[in-house]
């Protein structure tokens, strides 16, 4: 892989993990008023919980391409994520990112469809949804045949498109059991 391809791959990974496009990150940096590389990196890490490598790459892209035009168009998954996790729900964003990192680790064939109030996740068909609530993130799953438990709740009163719901209250809830349910729903959506 050449350097340009590696940089593009890194940018695609940043977009997938953060739920924001590079242009959206450029807008955010511009709005922040930060103009020096170090302060941009520090701001992205402290205010947006980005890893150092991602913050560094976005700062470089911003500073190198500040004159490039920004794209416009319909809302993307990234702008929906910004809206979903604004205000009092902002502390739930690390849970969202952890869920997306896990889903991304399954393969690169997941389509993220912004809906009103949540993100729908599909392969050939829908298999999950992510929606922030007041103090947790709701993960809707399609797992026909799975028993309802205290943790793997029925989604009957939550969203009729899903069979189960898991309330993810912290990043530590992303344990092997939850990852297995998520993978099972992902695999069934081929």
pLDDT digits (tens, 9 = 90+) for 28-85: 888 888 888 888 989 999 999 998 888 888 888 888 765 344 444 555 666 778 888 8
- Position 139 confidence tier, pLDDT thresholds 50, 70, 90: very high
Distance set, CA 103 to CA 8, 139, 166 (Å): 20, 12, 15
Alpha carbons 138 and 150: distance in angstroms, whole number? 14
Alpha carbons 40 and 87: distance in angstroms, whole number? 22
pLDDT value for 4: 61
> Is 121 in contact with 128 (CB distance < 8 Å)?
yes
Q: Which residues of 25-50 are buried (b: 16+ CB within 10 A; e: fewer)?
A: bbbbbeeeebeeeeebbebbeeebeb
> Is 171 in contact with 100 (CB distance < 8 Å)?
no
Ordered by start, the domain boundaries in the chain are 3-64, 77-188
pLDDT value for 95: 96
- Position 115 confidence tier, pLDDT thresholds 50, 70, 90: confident
For the chain, the average pLDDT equals 86
**Helix segments in 19-86, DSSP class H:** 22-32, 37-48, 52-64, 77-84
Q: What is the mean pLDDT of the segment spanning 136-163?
A: 94
**Residue 23, pLDDT above cutoff 60:** yes
Q: What is the mean pLDDT of the segment spanning 93-115?
A: 90
**Residue 7, pLDDT above cutoff 90:** no
């Amino acid at each position: 892989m050449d350097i340009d391809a590696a940089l593009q791959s890194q940018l695609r990974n940043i977009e997938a993990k953060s739920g924001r496009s590079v242009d959206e990150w450029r807008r955010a940096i511009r709005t922040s008023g930060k103009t020096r590389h170090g302060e941009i990196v520090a701001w992205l890490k402290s205010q947006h919980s980005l890893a150092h490598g991602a913050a560094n790459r976005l700062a470089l892209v911003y500073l190198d391409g500040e004159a490039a035009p920004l794209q416009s168009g319909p809302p993307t998954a990234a702008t929906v994520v910004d809206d979903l996790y604004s205000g009092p729900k902002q502390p739930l964003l690390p849970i969202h990112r952890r869920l997306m990192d896990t889903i991304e680790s399954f393969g690169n064939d997941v389509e993220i469809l912004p809906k009103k109030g949540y993100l729908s996740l599909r392969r050939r068909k829908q298999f999950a949804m992510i929606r922030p609530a007041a103090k947790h993130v709701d993960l809707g799953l399609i797992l026909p045949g799975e028993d309802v438990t205290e943790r793997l709740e029925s989604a009957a009163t939550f969203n009729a498109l899903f069979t189960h719901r898991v309330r993810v209250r912290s990043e530590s809830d992303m344990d092997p059991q939850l990852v297995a349910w998520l993978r099972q729903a992902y695999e069934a959506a081929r």
